[in-house]
Structure 1
């Protein structure tokens, strides 16, 4: 069975073309794409297929022969009654030529498919291209997600991109072109060793083939198995993500327990999938090095740590949760330094007064009134700003002996609070025991007497000196309203 028969048989089985398909062929004029064009003309010629084809050609204008190749394709397509679409690359980059050319090509193909109503794009990538791509990917990033190389079929521009020649080697295509007397152009730039792909093609692939004549077939099998494996793993990680991870407008939250019960491999791939979603949502890339840092920190068992990412973002652990979000919510200085650098001035508040401690915090020492008719006690609702009414709150009746004036300030290193008559505790220890995240620690306010005795650390704890006894007649209440970090903005 010759190459054409194998191609036609596989195309029908794999549904490379469907009845009434409108197929756009990417044709450069080289042997690979000219063979593809020849084969697809055979498909078009079979009346049972009802297939239409068109040709898209990019003139990169990098070689003197470019105009000759373009003219040849114009004449060929006119003789064979094939629609031809040509675009010239006018703005050439000074660096990154190969990647820029690829982006330019596929943007053109995408525009053509949508504008001219093609449902399938076919390119002439073959088995040798696949082997070269796999080697390049392994050299560049060593990532199993990309090590499988190019897929034979994938979605593209509202339709499909198909590479129907991936199961054929370059030598097979050359032999077929010679036998069928197919005219093609040989691109001299494919032999320039300044290009990585060319070095792999000229210096690496030939020894591999010489070592084992089945090397090309084995790499093809490996590519397929890696793609299947990656698809399976992605489905597994997607299910874990949908079940365990919470995505908010500016952050992503992962329960630590959902990872620590897994194997190291499962942790890696699930966090890698988180990285994919982070890149999609916020255009922030999680590198392999950063991913390994996160895994290492997770294995270390510390309750809090952080890994800095690009653009002012951060992956951090806050006790039972891994959080991806802006690093601006957290400082990286040591605790004494952070406290010493705090610029908030102390705020004095008398009984009956209210104030905003910050944009997201409000506090009042509110008078308690009694309804003459019912005897019920209440706080005047007009004393509470409308914008804070739905915020989280601490509402505490104050004892009769509560000071007439208190001070609200940011905590200081060494602060201690008398929780009960017999228990005195460091504020820092209270925050640790309550697993208070760093950003909440940073905005914690200490309430103290003018003489400096601590009455509470908000919103975490109150001294027994701030809690009314059951026998007290209540005259004032402490009402502290605060907006949760996740709900800001």
Structure 2
């Protein structure tokens, strides 16, 4: 039986996720015997899903087995009763819960490599599953031999080994294992692929499921090219400025659909902006970005806002809080949100009190060097100020309710020597 042990070395602590099925028990036997000199120590993890009467026997069996062979074992009871009652598919939920526990245990044990017994037949099922459930455009078609998780490596040493080879090894060494009867239930998608669909394909002399492996290799190469193009775009065209990320709208529109998705996937993942955005949502966003809309909000959470803002696509922290007005009765330096307002000693006392506030509907200011007024809202539009900045911009109002300044966009020429406004973080 082919076992790829290049994913670890003899100095490392290995942890095997063992279910008591033929795959993991066969791999455990191989690690104890043929591969016993390839690592420093071995621990087993077992999850009891409590979904079958047989689960208790399996848990007791692996406890006795590990005790007999002096292998440290940690078990975890998984309660999926609510998921079952809701009629929701338990496959993804069970996997997510398992790996959450694995992550915690790997950290607790300070272990190096988590090993699972996924094999070549599992790989083919995974490729088929991802193709026909629409999960093929933004990730690898199949599993990797080794991948990085939080603080450790996940390794699948049987990924090039067939189920038939595993059965031959088990038979030759008379390895005890438990057969999971739920694997025969085709109501689960993966079981249906394994038990019904793939055998039908293999029964046709003109078809072979192994061609899916070649498709995976080609697909992964194309994915790598997409990621490289996306990373190059991010490096050259994306402006990271503190909590704000800005992308040229024009340059983004010119990208292909797949590169657009990859660019946003990489940015959102890097900045931990939540779960992956569905492709359907991306499609709607791209239509809005390509339209003639000047400003619109694409996505809002309690922490992040993603907006189209004139010639930019902006991703920014949603940390806008209500800014209370400040009453200024003497010269000094005052902080209003992201702005610094300096009132010099040269200003006339008659101007006090000065109020610093956010804008109100209908705000107007006297134009410099010209008759007439201009609406603050019009100024913000003309200067292409995004919505979040509009809501934070300080309006400086004199004692006679005349607007003296609008952020760094306007300052009455009568007060050029008396008031100075700076946006912090900018020259």
TM-score normalised to the size of structure 1?
A: 0.68
- Counterpart position of 1:148: 141
- Counterpart position of 2:289: 298
Distance change in 2, residues 1:18/1:115 (3 Å): same
Deviation at 1:132, TM superposition (A): 2.7
- Counterpart position of 2:419: 479
Q: Which runs of no fewer than 5 residues in structure 2 stay unpaired?
A: none
Q: Which runs of no fewer than 5 residues in structure 1 stay unpaired?
A: 331-343, 345-357, 365-381, 469-473
Q: Deviations over 1:404-462 (max 9, x none)?
A: 99999956569685554478766554433322323444557496997x99887665346
Equivalent in 196, 216, 221 of residue 203 of structure 1? 196
- Counterpart position of 1:27: 18
Correspondence 1:67-466 to 2 at 5 A: 67-77=56-66, 81-89=69-77, 91-95=79-83, 97-116=90-109, 118-156=111-149, 158-211=151-204, 215-243=208-236, 244-246=238-240, 248-249=242-243, 251-256=244-249, 258-260=251-253, 262-278=255-271, 280=272, 282-283=273-274, 286-311=277-302, 313-325=304-316, 329=320, 359=324, 383-385=331-333, 387=335, 391-392=339-340, 410=359, 412=361, 418=367, 420-421=369-370, 428-442=377-391, 443=393, 445=395, 459-461=408-410
Deviation at 1:307, TM superposition (A): 1.3
Largest Rg, 1 or 2: 1
Q: Deviations over 1:134-168 (max 9, x none)?
A: 34334555352334232110124533221112223
SS of the residue corresponding to residue 121 of structure 1 reads: strand
Deviation at 1:108, TM superposition (A): 4.4
- The question of whether the paired residues in 2 share the 8 Å contact of 1:61 and 1:67 is answered with yes
**2-side partners of 1:213 and 1:119: how far apart?**
44
TM-score normalised to the size of structure 2?
A: 0.76
CA RMSD, Structure 1 to Structure 2 (Å): 4.4
- Counterpart position of 1:467: 413
**2-side partners of 1:406 and 1:56: how far apart?**
68
